[in-house]
């Protein structure tokens, strides 16, 4: 029989949750790699621009203040709330650039019909 795996813990003794987020007390923290993976792996520069524009929650620093080597993390509940409040895409509501797919299909069918007529004449 296999032994059950013990929970990993950080240096401060906070246990990790099943998704890898660290839970100090009641709120879980998510690190940059976890947040990016949850968002579908956008580049960090994209997330940085969202933060600068006020469109994404700001992280907290977990190291020396203002240091380049400080680790950043987000509260998991803020990230999950942000995702839950994203607008839902509706079918047929996106913008087309140029002709619609239906127009492209009609045009190609018309071209085939015209070329078939010219070949028979």
CATH number at residue 12: 1.10.10
Q: Containing domain of residue 20, as a range? A: 8-87
Which pLDDT belongs to residue 75? 95
Rg (CA), the chain: 26
Contact 107, 98 (CB under 8 A): no
* E-only strand ranges, 63-121: 72-75
Query: What string of pLDDT tens digits covers the 121 residues of the chain?
Result: 444 444 443 434 455 555 666 555 678 999 999 999 999 999 999 999 999 999 999 999 888 776 677 789 999 999 999 999 999 887 776 665 665 555 655 555 666 777 777 776 6
For residue 3, being part of any structural domain is answered with no
The predicted model scores a pTM of: 0.55
* E-only strand ranges, the chain: 29-31, 60-61, 72-75
For residue 18, being part of any structural domain is answered with yes
Quote the number of domains for the chain: 1
């Amino acid at each position: 029989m296999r032994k059950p795996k013990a929970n990993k813990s950080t240096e401060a003794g906070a246990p990790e949750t099943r998704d890898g987020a660290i839970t100090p007390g009641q709120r879980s923290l998510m690190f940059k790699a976890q947040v990016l993976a949850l968002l579908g792996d956008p580049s960090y520069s994209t997330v940085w621009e969202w933060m600068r524009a006020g469109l994404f929650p700001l992280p907290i620093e977990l190291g020396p203040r203002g240091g380049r080597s400080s680790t950043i993390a987000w509260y998991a509940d803020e990230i999950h709330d942000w995702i839950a409040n994203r607008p839902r895409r509706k079918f047929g509501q996106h913008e087309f650039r140029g002709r619609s797919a239906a127009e492209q299909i009609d045009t190609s069918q018309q071209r085939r019909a015209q070329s078939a007529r010219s070949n028979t004449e």
